[in-house]
């Protein structure tokens, strides 16, 4: 009894000379190749060309500074608590007299690390932050050879100081503004 109509009768007739030379199979293959030759390419010349990211793409994090170059993060730990991957660790410290130009509030993150191998780029840290301090951007972690290099510290995360690198600061702020605009679009 035949259960489906998917079975095919096997062709057992002897091959003719053209079939023995694989001519029909070659022509069939060439037809498929030529058919694809004139179709629009699905691949791109990465990294020279890049595709636009999805509006909901979430990439590498950055830690924000205010216009005076002071770090926004107060090491409250809410991002670490919100993180489902337990990828964020930090050490809090008290701001000392004379450090008002470095840290916006009395407490700051002396150490702040994100393990990018654990991170699932969910964006919950960004949503949990009450200090406008952490944002995910449209960049991704570059490939590397050691696991240690995927632990991003403050030197990788904090955006440039506007007094020392105004161009870098402006660029980083542009990424943050872009991120905020997209978040507003999604909630609208
Ligand atoms: S994006 Fe998600 S997983 Fe990654 S550090 Fe933030 S909260 Fe954790
Ligand atoms: S990034 Fe935001 S939520 Fe995380 S410790 Fe700093 S201030 Fe708190």
Q: Give the residue extent of every domain in the chain.
A: 61-187
What pLDDT was estimated at residue 62?
96
Average the pLDDT over each of 10-14, 110-114, 151-155 and give the range with the smallest value: 10-14
d(CA 63, CA 10): 66
Tell me the best of 81, 87, 123, 153 to mutate to test the pocket of ligand 1, counting ligand atoms within 8 Å of each CB and taking the most.
Answer: 87
Paired tokens of 75: 């090491």
* φ, ψ of residue 90 in degrees (nearest 5): -155, 160
**Rounded to the nearest 5 degrees, what angle is found at the Cα of 77, between the Cα atoms of 143 and 121?**
30
CB atoms within 10 A of CB 45: 8
Answer yes or no: is pLDDT of 88 > 90: yes
What pLDDT was estimated at residue 20?
94
What is the helix, strand, coil percentage profile of the chain, to 5? 30, 15, 55
pLDDT, tens digit, 9 for 90 and up, residues 40-79: 988 999 889 988 888 888 999 999 999 999 999 999 999 9
d(CA 68, CA 70): 6
Answer yes or no: is pLDDT of 5 > 90: no
Nearest CA to ligand 1 atom 1: 121
pLDDT, tens digit, 9 for 90 and up, residues 22-38: 999 999 999 999 999 88
Say if residue 94 is exposed, middle or buried (CB neighbours under 10 Å; 0-12, 13-18, 19+).
exposed
Average the pLDDT over each of 78-82, 139-143, 155-159, 182-186 and give the range with the smallest value: 182-186
State the distance from the centre of ligand 1 to the C-alpha of 145, rounded, in angstroms.
22
Specify the higher pLDDT residue, 52 or 114.
114
Query: Quick one: what percent of the chain has pLDDT higher than 70?
Result: 99
Pocket of ligand 2 (CB under 6 A): 73-79, 90, 109, 128-129, 131, 133-134
Tell me the best of 62, 120, 123 to mutate to test the pocket of ligand 1, counting ligand atoms within 8 Å of each CB and taking the most.
Answer: 120
CATH assignment of 61-187, among 3.40.50.300, 3.30.70.3270, 1.10.620.20, 1.10.3720.10: 3.30.70.3270
What pLDDT was estimated at residue 11?
85
What pLDDT was estimated at residue 137?
92
State the distance from the centre of ligand 2 to the C-alpha of 73, rounded, in angstroms.
5
What pLDDT was estimated at residue 180?
85
SS3 158: strand
* pLDDT, averaged across the chain: 93
Q: Kindly state if the Cβ of 134 falls inside 6 Å of ligand 1.
A: no
| Pair 135, 175: CB distance under 8 Å | yes
Tell me the best of 114, 129, 156 to mutate to test the pocket of ligand 1, counting ligand atoms within 8 Å of each CB and taking the most.
Answer: 114
What pLDDT was estimated at residue 142?
84
What pLDDT was estimated at residue 89?
97
d(CA 115, CA 153): 9
Q: Kindly state if the Cβ of 151 falls inside 6 Å of ligand 1.
A: no
DSSP 56: T
């Amino acid at each position: 009894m035949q259960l489906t109509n998917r079975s095919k009768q096997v062709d057992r007739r002897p091959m003719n000379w053209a079939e023995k030379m694989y001519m029909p199979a070659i022509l069939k293959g060439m037809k498929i190749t030529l058919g694809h030759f004139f179709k629009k390419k699905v691949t791109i010349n990465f990294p020279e060309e890049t595709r636009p990211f999805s509006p909901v793409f979430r990439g590498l994090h950055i830690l924000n500074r205010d216009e005076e170059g002071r770090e926004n993060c107060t090491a409250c730990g809410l991002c670490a608590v919100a993180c489902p991957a337990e990828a964020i660790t930090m050490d809090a410290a008290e701001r000392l007299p004379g450090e008002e130009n470095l840290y916006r509030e009395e407490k700051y993150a002396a150490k702040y690390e994100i393990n990018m191998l654990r991170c699932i780029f969910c964006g919950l840290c960004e949503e949990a932050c009450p200090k406008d301090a952490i944002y995910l951007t449209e960049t991704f972690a570059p490939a590397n050879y050691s696991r240690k290099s995927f632990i991003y510290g403050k030197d990788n995360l904090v955006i440039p100081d506007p007094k020392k690198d105004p161009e870098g600061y402006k660029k980083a702020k542009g990424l943050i503004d872009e991120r905020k605009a997209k978040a507003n679009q999604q909630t609208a």
